[in-house]
Amino acid sequence: DAMVIQNPRYQVTQFGKPVTLSCSQTLNHNVMYWYQQKSSQAPKLLFHYYDKDFNNEADTPDNFQSRRPNTSFCFLDIRSPGLGDAAMYLCATSRARNEQFFGPGTRLTVL
Amino acid sequence: LAKTTQPISMDSYEGQEVNITCSHNNIATNDYITWYQQFPSQGPRFIIQGYKTKVTNEVASLFIPADRKSSTLSLPRVSLSDTAVYYCLVPQDSNYQLIWGAGTKLIIKP
């Protein structure tokens, strides 16, 4: 089945230690998104790619970076995780403005 | 920018029909309204999308009045497994981003 895959499902890192979360898709969608979701809150868009064009939300901290080496893969890099970055990170894909398909998420714990 | 407003929480019982209403006063003329469902520790899942009048699929119905300033998600004969958070979304002006409101936490009781 076509899907959005996120690895790992659970990630533990230390304060200030860089971490990379990965997302892959078999849907061949041209748009990929990264969201941050904290407990009992709605997902918050960090950035998205339309093909290779990167679009950063104005309030996304510089600590968060992203890479999309090809259509299928997208990475979220957190350069120096702080305690406040502990959250669920969701990857989603869509074809243009159509419905978004979400992965299962990666839960990040910062010690 | 368009903004959505939904009830924070709702309770219902198994077998009942549940209607969740969302207001989106500033929706653009050409924009669709989309609803997602999210279970704890999972990514959101698309439920239904509509532009006007009524849309129905195997999971839900979506009612949109002529002025499109609101929409109502209708879940027929809910079960315990429908306990989740339901989000109503409309696009931002900049195309690919959806505006996520606080969502409605629906609790189904036996």
- Tell me the pLDDT tens digit for each residue of A26-69: 999 999 999 999 998 999 999 999 999 999 988 999 999 999 99
Give the separation between CA A26 and CA B57, rounded to whole angstroms: 25
Instruction: Give me the mean pLDDT over the B50-74 stretch.
Output: 94
Please check whether residue A100 touches B, CB under 8 A: yes
| B92–A contact, CB cutoff 8 A | no
Q: Which of A41, A100, A104 sits opposite B98 (nearest CB)?
A: A100
For B8-53, what is each residue's pLDDT tens digit? 999 999 999 999 999 998 888 888 899 999 999 899 999 999 998 9
In the prediction, which pLDDT does B56 show?
95
Q: What pLDDT does residue B84 have? A: 97
Q: Do B97 and A100 touch (CB under 8 A)?
A: no
Nearest to A102 among B41, B44, B91 (CB): B44
User: Considering CB atoms only, which of B41, B46, B100 is closest to A43?
Assistant: B100
Residue B58: pLDDT band (50, 70, 90) is very high
Q: Is A71 exposed, middle or buried (0-12, 13-18, 19+ CB in 10 A)?
A: middle
State how far the Cα of A90 lies from the Cα of B44, in Å rounded to an integer. 9
Q: Do B41 and A103 touch (CB under 8 A)?
A: no
Q: Report the SS3 class of residue B80.
A: helix
B57: confidence class by pLDDT, cuts 50, 70, 90:
very high
* In contact, A66 and A34? CB cutoff 8 Å: yes
Whether residue A34 contacts residue A76, with contact meaning beta carbons closer than 8 Å, is answered with yes
For chain B, the first-to-last Cα distance in angstroms comes to 40
Neighbour tally for A59: CB within 10 Å: 8
A88 touches B: beta carbon within 8 Å: yes
What letters, b where the CB count within 10 A reaches 16 and e where it falls short, cover A84-95?
ebbbbbbbbbbe
CA distances from B81 to A80, B102, B108 (A): 39, 21, 8
Which residues 59-88 in chain B show a CB within 8 A of chain A? 87
Chain B residues within an 8 Å CB radius of A102: 43-45
Q: Are B50 and B62 in contact (CB under 8 A)?
A: yes
Strand partners, B54: B63
pLDDT band (50, 70, 90) for residue A105 = very high
Question: Distance from B86 to chain A by nearest Cα, in Å?
Answer: 10
The 10s digit of each residue's pLDDT in B70-100 is: 999 999 999 999 999 999 998 876 556 777 8
pLDDT score recorded for residue B25: 85
Residue B32: list chain A partners with CB under 8 A. 97
Which pLDDT score is estimated for A104?
94
Is A50 in Cβ contact with B100 (below 8 Å)?
Answer: no
Q: What is the pLDDT of residue B36?
A: 96
Separation of first and last alpha carbons in chain A: 36
Interface touch B44/A45, C-beta < 8 Å: no
Closest-CA residue in chain B for A35?
A: B43
CB contact (8 A) between residue B102 and residue A104: no
Of A9-18, A64-73, B2-11, B92-101, least confident by mean pLDDT is B92-101
Give residue B46's pLDDT.
93
